[in-house]
Amino acid sequence: MNNQVNVMVLGQSGVGKSSLINYLADKEVCEVGTGSPVTQRGKFQKVTFPSPNNSDVSINVYDSWGLESNKTDDWKKVIDEKLLSTLSFDKMISGIVYCMSYQSDRIQDFELDYLKDLLSYGYEVIVVLTQADNSGYETKKTVYRERLEKGLPEEQRKYVVVDVCAEAHAKPWQAPIEPFGRDKLLDELQNSTFYNFNKVFHSQLKKWRSSAQEKIQKFETECIESAKRTNFEDKMEISGLKDLVSNRAKALAKSFTDEVKAVVTDASEYYELIEDAFAKPKNNAPAPDTILSKIGQIFDKIANLFGGGVTLKNIEEFNRHLEETSNRLDDLISTMFEEIDDNLHERLG
């Protein structure tokens, strides 16, 4: 796994996305536009810089081209494809930043509609209100937050708002304004990253669970085909069939264990990477040894599924025992899933 954390920055052209990225990187890594699109339509401008807290970890920022009110469908399609293609730890989007500017007259309906779409995927979104040095900032601060609260359904309000001034300003009629909001944004990126990590972890577990259930169905089909070729009047053939099914079941259970080990280990490594990126431990990383020892105990229970006490006189009895075996394998999947899920919730809080 590479030492990289991915962040997506979204918003209309001219709201200060490039300035925000430069401020986050603490150096110029993006060309700053003047209200015109810097990033090509349909593309992401990727910039990479060392984590402000740990130079051994890189932050990849994917800066989208600007959202336009008459192009929301095209914009949504590209963003959605990017999000759905990154549901793995080495590619996951750790943080989503949506930029709006205090220089705008108001938050527009089409922006709220797209925020609803983003939140519907289960991600936490950081809404950054840029250009907070604007003369109407204090008045708009409350108005913008009320607009977000009223415009987004209560069940979708998994977002945080951060005010940012990315560039210093010295205007004749007011005191100089220094940049602010960077530390708060980094804190929220950390919190958001752990939240979104949980989403990807669940996605990986569900994918494993679905694959495991498909394998059980294949296991049943193969065992039934073997039973059809068995002479149930021949004790040697029955014994061979029992051994065959038992060995297949054990191999299948072991494959479940190996696969979920890989998921848990990748999750643990990525969790530690997040801690390194932000240099502020959120909690203990999911402990693979603890989880996997429990999985090993569950695996031991699958042994001797067609052991010496099982008698097979005909195909009907075989099918009954096969169903019991499949149910125990399915229980194994469920138990593994629940053990990991409980452990994750306990550690992430």
Angstrom CA distances, 286 to 91, 142, 257, 266, 320, stand at: 19, 39, 17, 10, 39
- Tell me how far apart the terminal alpha carbons of the chain are, to the nearest angstrom: 25
Identify the CATH number of the domain defined by range 4-180.
3.40.50.300
Coil, helix or strand at residue 277: helix
Over its length of 349 residues, how does the chain's per-residue pLDDT go in tens digits?
Answer: 678 888 999 988 889 898 999 998 888 888 775 444 444 444 678 888 888 777 788 888 988 877 776 666 777 777 777 777 766 777 788 889 999 999 888 888 888 988 888 888 888 899 999 988 776 777 888 899 999 999 988 766 789 999 999 988 766 666 778 889 999 998 898 888 878 887 777 777 788 888 888 988 998 899 899 999 999 889 899 889 888 888 888 888 788 878 877 887 887 788 778 777 876 555 554 454 555 555 555 555 554 555 555 667 788 888 888 888 888 778 877 877 777 766 665 655 5
What's the pTM?
0.77
CA 224 to chain centre: 39
Calpha distance 103→126 (Å, rounded): 19
CA dihedral 284, 289, 295, 299 (to 10 degrees): 180
For residue 58, the surrounding DSSP H or E stretch is strand 54-64
What's 56's DSSP letter? E
Q: How many helices (H) and strands (E) does the chain have?
A: 8, 6
Calpha distance 206→234 (Å, rounded): 43
Name, in order, each residue with C-beta under 8 angstroms of 115's C-beta and a sequence gap of 6 or more: 98, 125, 127, 148, 151, 152, 159
Phi, psi (deg, nearest 5) at residue 345? -65, -40
Looking up tokens 């996305």 gives: 17
Calpha distance 240→338 (Å, rounded): 35
Q: Sketch the domain layout of the chain as residue ranges.
A: 4-180, 203-348
Calpha distance 257→248 (Å, rounded): 14
Within a 10 A sphere around the Cβ of 239, how many other Cβ atoms?
13
